[in-house]
Each structure stands twice: as structure tokens, then as C-alpha cells.
């Protein structure tokens, strides 16, 4: 592990693109928050999703963590419209068909209390007569807009989506828009995940 590499955890706010180049004048990018040269996101979070984004300038590690074969866990807190029933939860856990693809098995549970998260700006649309629920969903794959497509496929559209962990990495007190370098223990576990585990 050389000191020339940077490994950053960023709490991506809602409405920020997971890239440094601007493709529209109205949307923020990572460049508005992170002034570290030559780092790039490992994977991505959609502009309308929030939470943990890992960035590095270590190309080989970025490639390995992004490759589907490595199957590292990503955990999301997902606010959905209405309260999913056991049948819907079972389908999410077993895998659902989205765009001619069947998702892998996932860990899915209803959170009994609303998670403690910073307010979203802008807030989700609120409908007085429609209840919402929070799910914790852990995937080992990262297809485009996968969580949103999964919950929609079982009839419970996603209202808010926050990634809270990637493997062992967690937001740990960061607020939206803040970032920090990985600590030595996090970095060792990350290297073990990418280069030691098969």
C-alpha cells in the first residue's frame, strides 16, 4: 500500500452526480465538494440517491471492486410508498425480474423505526393518506437503478434511497457533502476484500 494512493468516503447528497464533469448546468457534481485531483468513484450512486460513495486513484482496486465477480455487500436504507407485505419482501429476497434480468438473492427487512438521517433537500413528496415504510436492503451486485427497479417491480415505489455501507465501510458521522480519508484499519480490510478474497 503506497502513500501515493488516496481512498475517500464521501456522503453524497441528493441531486449530485457521481462524476466530476458537468453535463448539465443545473446539477452539482463531485467537483463541487471534493478538491482532490485524479480520484474517481468506485461504482456510482444515481443523482437522486444519497449516501456512501467510495473514491480512489488506485485503478486496480477500483476495477476489482467494480467487477461483478467480487460480490461485496452494499447496504441501503430505502423509504418506499405503502407497507410491503411478506409476499413482496419474499420476492425481493429471492430475486425479481427487472429488464430481462433476475436479481440475485438479497437481504431485505423492514426497519421497525425510521432511521436517523439528515433531512433531504428537497424533501420527498408526502401524501397524507399513503403510509411509507423503511427497508434495509443488502445487495451483492449493483445494476443501474437496481433498488428502485426492484421495489417498483413488487409494487412499492422507492421515495428515498440512502446507501449506508459498502462492505465494512460506513458513513460514521459524516453529514451530506462531507468526506474523509479511510483510516488504516478500513484500508487494510478494503485491500483484503479486493486482493486477498477470491
Q: Which residue has the cell 448539465?
A: 24
End-to-end CA distance of the chain: 19
**Is 46 among the residues known to form the active site?**
yes
Catalytic, out of 32, 38, 46, 192? 46
Cα–Cα distance, 20 to 41 (Å, whole number): 9
> Cis bond leading into 122, ω under 30°?
yes
Cα–Cα distance, 44 to 159 (Å, whole number): 19
Cα–Cα distance, 56 to 37 (Å, whole number): 10
DSSP 65: H
Cα–Cα distance, 40 to 43 (Å, whole number): 9
Cα–Cα distance, 94 to 103 (Å, whole number): 8
Q: How many CB atoms lie within 10 A of CB 134?
A: 19
Choose among 48, 69, 62, 63: nearest CA to 147. Answer: 48
Q: Tell me which residues are annotated as active site.
A: 46
Amino acid at each position: 500500500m503506497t502513500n501515493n494512493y488516496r481512498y475517500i468516503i464521501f456522503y453524497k447528497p441528493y441531486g449530485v452526480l457521481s462524476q466530476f464533469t458537468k453535463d448539465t448546468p443545473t446539477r452539482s457534481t463531485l467537483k463541487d465538494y471534493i478538491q482532490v485531483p485524479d480520484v474517481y468513484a468506485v461504482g456510482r450512486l444515481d443523482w437522486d440517491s444519497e449516501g456512501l460513495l467510495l473514491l480512489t486513484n488506485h485503478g486496480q482496486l477500483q476495477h476489482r471492486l467494480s467487477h461483478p465477480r467480487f460480490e461485496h455487500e452494499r447496504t441501503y436504507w430505502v423509504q418506499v410508498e405503502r407497507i410491503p407485505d411478506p409476499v413482496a419482501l419474499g420476492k425481493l429476497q429471492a430475486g425479481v425480474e427487472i429488464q430481462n434480468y433476475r436479481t440475485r438473492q438479497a437481504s431485505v427487512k423492514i426497519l421497525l423505526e425510521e432511521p436517523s438521517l439528515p433531512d433531504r433537500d428537497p424533501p420527498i413528496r408526502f401524501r397524507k393518506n399513503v403510509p411509507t415504510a423503511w427497508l434495509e436492503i443488502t445487495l451483492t451486485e449493483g445494476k443501474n437503478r437496481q433498488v428502485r427497479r426492484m421495489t417498483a417491480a413488487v409494487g412499492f415505489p422507492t421515495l428515498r434511497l440512502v446507501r449506508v455501507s459498502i462492505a465494512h465501510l460506513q458513513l460514521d458521522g459524516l453529514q451530506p457533502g462531507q468526506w474523509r480519508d479511510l483510516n488504516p484499519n478500513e484500508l487494510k480490510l478494503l485491500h483484503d476484500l479486493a486482493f486477498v478474497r477470491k
